[in-house]
Chains A and B, each alone.
Chain A
Amino acid sequence: MTENTRIRMMSFSLIFGFFLMWEVLCVLLNVSDLVLPRPSEILVTLWVKFPILLPHILQTLYSTLTGFVLGVIIGTALGVMVGTSKVAYAVAYPLLVGFSSIPKVAVVPIFVLWFGSGTTPAILTAMVICVFPIVVNIATGLATTEPDLEDVLKTLGASKSEILWNVGLPRTMPYFFAALKVAITLSFVGAVLSETVASNRGIGNVMMTASSNFQVSLVFAGLIILALLGVALYALFSWLERRVTGWATRGNDITIT
């Protein structure tokens, strides 16, 4: 079998082993299901409650993706502005760092106060939390574009925007896609965070409701769903990154001399 397949199989074995150990320990130590439910129980809960959970999963995904798209648009625009102007870079940076340092946990109740509970604060939190990495990555990518690359177009008489479009932005794509991977994960966290504070729908809400009613198995089912969704989103954007910016990572292909 190929190396890749072998690694995949080892990965699965590790995950399976983890759950198996969890199950066995719970049984052996007679752990109450109010404290730590067994994986088998969680699986049953997931299976039985899935139709009920589906609308909540879709809600979380919706908030995450909407906030993410908005964050990408704003982040890209800001990143381009900051990355193409040395003055803007110096002026805007402290403010950006300041904003990003604020723990979003503190920001969510403010959003809820302004906009009420539900989807709006979730989208806003998702958006706000993922803007900064995108701005930084794009600005850095643009600011560090090799002058040689730019000269190629400058000698042809290209305008600044032509240089930005043909050299700056493509050159920044690896940075951009790396940032996307991070941003989607953060958006997801932001949306769920907001849902745990105030919402009627979403996996965050499921976990809080389940928690208040002491349906611990459902809480863990929610956790597992969150983990799976997080992995899926990250994997999706990793794949996208490889497709679009393969040129930057140069495989082990032959080189002609």
Chain B
Amino acid sequence: MNIANHHEQAVDAAQKIGSVSNRYAVELQAASVVFGKGAEAVTALSPTSLKMDAGDFVALVGPSGCGKSTILRLVSNLIQPSSGVVLVGGREAAAKQLRIGMAFQNPTMLPWLTIEQNVMMPLKIVPPFKTTFYKDRKGAFRDRVHNLLEQVGLKDFASHFPWQLSGGMLQRSNLCRALIHEPDLLLLDEPFGALDQFTREELWQILQDLYLDRKPTVLLVTHDLREAGFLAKRICVMSARPGRIISDETVNIPQPRDIGMIYSSEFVEMTQGLRELIAQVRK
């Protein structure tokens, strides 16, 4: 099959079918990713479909290597699908239609910049902030950065350098950097994976507050079921490699959620159910 043709056909079809009101914030239509060719080909993601409305908070869970991160990379346009279509804001080529904020597990702050300068970086790159960057960076933008840092408890560390901060603090900065440019879509790839339990619970609450404050569309990839249950509206479970989505459950607990509830029996039951599902697919 000629993949290029297939792409064009799918996009045409999607554009004909979808009107503005039907446009999803994120949509995968049987998107798959295959690395390499012929005998050495490795399927990272089987043809997978997913739909997300604006303001939705979806958590992707699944065993190692199932392709969760691959989905994120597709949506953020870091890689292209080998087949199928990835639509963000109704169009291909993300980041031009919707503003995207992304946070990886490794905070990757630029070491030669202060925390403040790091968090401000997206404003230098992303339109429309880009055009007034040099005028506003010492005034309006700076205030914006400081407000955000204050929200995550880092107000006093704006002039510090990354090497002076702990892992948890860097990850908080990372979140700020992912949100400073008011993205419509927030992509999170196991952002709290390297942190201890207390720090994680702290950061979950911070993320929930930020989410409820700004209501971006969020796609969270995580291996922590409690994290998924606490934060997300929907939890999608993926099968083992080459993965696809096998379950899509809504979490019916109203937001904002209290951190204490993760120990409630209702919550524990839900996560146990997920756990069993994943254990099955891992075999």
- B158 contacts chain A at the CB level, 8 A cutoff: no
| CB neighbors of A among B93-136 (8 A) | 95-96, 100, 102, 104, 106, 108, 110-113, 121-122, 124-126
Residue on B with the closest CB to A153? B125
**A155–B111 CB distance below 8 A:** no
CA distance A169 to B249 in the complex (A): 46
Q: A146 contacts which chain B residues (CB < 8 A)?
A: 108
- B78 contacts chain A at the CB level, 8 A cutoff: yes
> Residue among B108, B126, B165, B187 with the most chain A CB within 10 A?
B108
Comparing A17-25, A27-35, A121-129, A245-253, the segment that makes contact with chain B is: A245-253
Knowing A157-B125, A166-B121, the reply to whether A152 touches B95 (Cβ < 8 A) is no
- A154 contacts chain B at the CB level, 8 A cutoff: yes
Residue on A with the closest CB to B93? A157
**B104–A148 CB distance below 8 A:** yes
**A248–B125 CB distance below 8 A:** no
- B197 contacts chain A at the CB level, 8 A cutoff: no
Q: B95 contacts which chain A residues (CB < 8 A)?
A: 155-157
- B163 contacts chain A at the CB level, 8 A cutoff: yes
**A148–B125 CB distance below 8 A:** no
Give B104 Cβ to nearest chain A Cβ, in Å.
7
B102, B157, B163, B164: the one within 8 Å of A155 (CB): B102
Bin chain A's interface residue count: 20 to 34
A156, A170, A171, A256: the one within 8 Å of B125 (CB): A156
Give B23 Cβ to nearest chain A Cβ, in Å.
20
**A151–B125 CB distance below 8 A:** no
CA distance A149 to B104 in the complex (A): 11
> Residue among B100, B106, B112, B163 with the most chain A CB within 10 A?
B112
**A247–B125 CB distance below 8 A:** no
**B169–A256 CB distance below 8 A:** yes
Q: B169 contacts which chain A residues (CB < 8 A)?
A: 256
B96, B112, B181: the one within 8 Å of A247 (CB): B112
CA distance A255 to B181 in the complex (A): 29
A173, A253, A255: the one within 8 Å of B166 (CB): A255
**A253–B164 CB distance below 8 A:** yes
- B204 contacts chain A at the CB level, 8 A cutoff: no
CA distance A158 to B102 in the complex (A): 13
Knowing A148-B104, A153-B121, A156-B100, the reply to whether A256 touches B164 (Cβ < 8 A) is yes
> Residue among A146, A158, A162, A245 with the most chain B CB within 10 A?
A158
A154, A247, A257: the one within 8 Å of B163 (CB): A247
- B76 contacts chain A at the CB level, 8 A cutoff: yes
- A52 contacts chain B at the CB level, 8 A cutoff: no
Q: A166 contacts which chain B residues (CB < 8 A)?
A: 110, 121, 124-125
| CB neighbors of B among A164-201 (8 A) | 166-167, 170-171, 173
For A125-165 the 0/1 string (1 means CB < 8 A from B) is 00000000000000000000010110111111110001000
- A113 contacts chain B at the CB level, 8 A cutoff: no
**A170–B126 CB distance below 8 A:** no
CA distance A152 to B102 in the complex (A): 8
Give A169 Cβ to nearest chain B Cβ, in Å.
10
Q: B126 contacts which chain A residues (CB < 8 A)?
A: 156-157
For A23-64 the 0/1 string (1 means CB < 8 A from B) is 000000000000000000000000000000000000000000
CA distance A166 to B164 in the complex (A): 21
Q: A155 contacts which chain B residues (CB < 8 A)?
A: 76-78, 95, 100, 102, 187
What are 9 A-B interface contacts by the 8 Å CB criterion?
Answer: A151-B108, A155-B102, A156-B126, A157-B126, A170-B112, A247-B112, A248-B111, A255-B164, A255-B166
Using a CB–CB distance below 8 Å, which chain A residues touch chain B? Answer: 146, 148-149, 151-158, 162, 166-167, 170-171, 173, 245, 247-248, 250, 253-257
In order of increasing CB-CB distance, the 9 nearest A-B pairs are A157-B95, A155-B102, A247-B112, A156-B125, A257-B166, A158-B125, A148-B108, A155-B76, A170-B112
With A156-B95, A156-B181 known, 15 other A-B pairs at CB within 8 A are A148-B104, A151-B108, A152-B110, A152-B121, A155-B76, A156-B122, A157-B126, A166-B110, A166-B124, A167-B110, A171-B112, A173-B112, A254-B164, A255-B166, A256-B166
